[in-house]
Amino acid sequence: MKKNILLGVCGGVAAYKSAELVRLLQREGFEVRVMMTAAAARFVGPLTFQALSGHPVATNLLDADQESAMGHIRLARWPDQILIAPATAHFMARIAHGLADDILSAVCLAARVPIRLAPAMNTAMWLNPATQSNRQVLESRGIRLLGPGQGELACGESGEGRMLDPDEIIDRLRETFQTGPLQGQSALVTAGPTREPLDPVRFISNRSSGKMGYALAEALRSAGASVTLVSGPVALPAPPGVELIRVETALQMRDAVMARISQAPPGLFVACAAVADYRPEHAASGKIKKTDANMTLSLTRNPDILTEVAALPPGSRPFCVGFAAETEDIRRLGEEKRRCKGVDLLAANLVGGPQGGFEDNNNALTLLWADGQAELPMMPKRELAAALVSFIEERFFACNPSS
């Protein structure tokens, strides 16, 4: 099956390499269309890209002829993925801020497919904190950067900022354009702890590191799913190619999850977060002062996100995977939790012992579903995540044979 790729070319001297990129993408089996910024069209003529791609080149957002041939919204719906090469510092800043003042930025804002950028700029521009903070924003939204590489730059300097060569870009794309068993499926994952504020400087939380949830998000992505990760505060970088939504409290996590499900119900929901069961009834607006007396905190129940998602009506209810961290009798307590929360697959693990659990890099899981169970022995969390995703796939397709 032919895959559609939309190549966006920004105005950098590396634009000349993009002509070669069109050829290499076609050789990979892609149908290629090209869009260019006005500055890019001053480096390489649109006619070159039209001749190579066999399609008219989109250069202008407000041109009546171009919009009537294929408007920016139709153009945004056409590809299976978008590649911007070269991506300039200015372009990165524009899309980091959600601007839509030219064809490239408008299409990126309207698109719902993976976007990759191959940055190309002078080393100082790349290392500038403004560009680095834009990079972080883009990566946290699941936009993946390919490069830049090190080497000689057109400005005469040498350093980081060179656009990757076309064949290097193709190699990176091969890694990112996954074709896995979950291709075409979307997965929503929660991870990490939540923080429940007592006052502006104090909170109640737990020891969850987020490692398992992040590893699962990555493993689901590698299996071909498009993944959104709703994460409490952790010290982990966004997994590549995954859309990351950061939250702090259980209520924020619930709202982020329900908002995403009502926008576009995912096929899979994996609740890996260690959500605080209770929050302080009142968070003080100023720092609580100590007195000589003892203090009693009044706590109120937080919503159970997993139970709420698992109770959604068919049509918006995803296949639900839950976790249970127990200090004893994991099979019995896990089974109770599976039934009580109404989940399709429950992964139970032992915590509080010498090995495994929250902060450890290793873990073991007991998997429970309606008519079966299995054990995944102690192993590094990344390997465990891959093994669990294989299980999730199996159970998901058993429950959704038409997917």
The residues that are catalytic are: 155
Is 261:162 a contact under the CB 8 Å cutoff?
A: no
- Work out which of 275, 351, 365, 385 binds ligand C5P, going by CB under 6 A: 275
Q: Give yes or no for residue 11 binding ligand C5P (CB under 6 A).
A: no
Q: Which is nearer to ligand C5P, 147 or 193 (CB)?
A: 193
Q: CA-CA distance, 32 to 151, in Å (whole number)?
A: 28
Q: Which stretch binds ligand C5P (CB under 6 A): 6-14, 94-102, 299-307, 395-403?
A: 299-307
Q: Give yes or no for residue 139 binding ligand C5P (CB under 6 A).
A: no
Q: Which is nearer to ligand C5P, 196 or 393 (CB)?
A: 196
Q: Give yes or no for residue 58 binding ligand C5P (CB under 6 A).
A: no
Smallest gap, in angstroms, from Cβ of residue 261 to ligand C5P? 13
Is 144:117 a contact under the CB 8 Å cutoff?
A: yes
Smallest gap, in angstroms, from Cβ of residue 387 to ligand C5P? 18
Q: Give yes or no for residue 190 binding ligand C5P (CB under 6 A).
A: yes
- Pull the structure tokens for residue 4: 């559609």
Q: Which is nearer to ligand C5P, 184 or 352 (CB)?
A: 352
Smallest gap, in angstroms, from Cβ of residue 270 to ligand C5P? 8
- Pull the structure tokens for residue 241: 């190619």
Q: Give yes or no for residue 271 binding ligand C5P (CB under 6 A).
A: yes
Q: Give yes or no for residue 19 binding ligand C5P (CB under 6 A).
A: no
Q: Which is nearer to ligand C5P, 57 or 272 (CB)?
A: 272
Q: Which stretch binds ligand C5P (CB under 6 A): 21-29, 80-88, 271-279, 376-384?
A: 271-279
Q: Give yes or no for residue 322 binding ligand C5P (CB under 6 A).
A: yes
Q: Which stretch binds ligand C5P (CB under 6 A): 142-150, 228-236, 272-280, 349-357?
A: 272-280
Q: Give yes or no for residue 96 binding ligand C5P (CB under 6 A).
A: no
Q: Give yes or no for residue 306 binding ligand C5P (CB under 6 A).
A: yes
Q: Which stretch binds ligand C5P (CB under 6 A): 152-160, 170-178, 268-276, 290-298?
A: 268-276
Could you list the beta-strand ranges (E) of 68-222: 81-87, 115-119, 144-145, 149-152, 158-162, 186-191, 196-199, 202-204
- Strands 186-191 and 278-280 come out as unpaired
DSSP 138-179: HHHTTPEE---EEEE-TTS-EEEEEPPPHHHHHHHHHHHS--
Cβ density class 32-69: b for 16+ within 10 Å, e for less: bbbbbbebbbebbebebbeebbeeebbbbbeeeebbee
Q: What track of x and - describes contact with ligand C5P for positions 227 through 266 (by CB under 6 A)?
A: -----------------------x----------------
Q: Give yes or no for residue 302 binding ligand C5P (CB under 6 A).
A: yes
Smallest gap, in angstroms, from Cβ of residue 332 to ligand C5P? 14
Smallest gap, in angstroms, from Cβ of residue 24 to ligand C5P? 43
Smallest gap, in angstroms, from Cβ of residue 187 to ligand C5P? 14
CA end-to-end span of the chain: 18
Q: Give yes or no for residue 103 binding ligand C5P (CB under 6 A).
A: no
Q: Give yes or no for residue 323 binding ligand C5P (CB under 6 A).
A: yes
- Work out which of 25, 324, 386, 388 binds ligand C5P, going by CB under 6 A: 324
Q: CA-CA distance, 309 to 189, in Å (whole number)?
A: 12
CA–CA distance from 310 to each of 193, 233, 304, 322, 340 (Å)? 20, 24, 10, 10, 10
- Residue 113 has φ and ψ, to the nearest 5°, of -115, 165
- With 0-12 / 13-18 / 19 or more C-beta atoms within 10 angstroms meaning exposed / middle / buried, residue 291 is exposed
Q: CA-CA distance, 351 to 355, in Å (whole number)?
A: 8
Is 392:345 a contact under the CB 8 Å cutoff?
A: yes
- Residue 240 has φ and ψ, to the nearest 5°, of -60, 140
Is 114:83 a contact under the CB 8 Å cutoff?
A: no
Q: Give me the long-range contacts of 95-99 (CB less than 8 A, separation at least 24).
A: 95/138, 95/143, 96/133, 96/134, 96/137, 96/138
Q: Which stretch binds ligand C5P (CB under 6 A): 59-67, 137-145, 173-181, 269-277?
A: 269-277
Give residues in contact with ligand C5P (CB under 6 A): 190, 250, 271-273, 275, 277, 302, 304-306, 322-324, 337
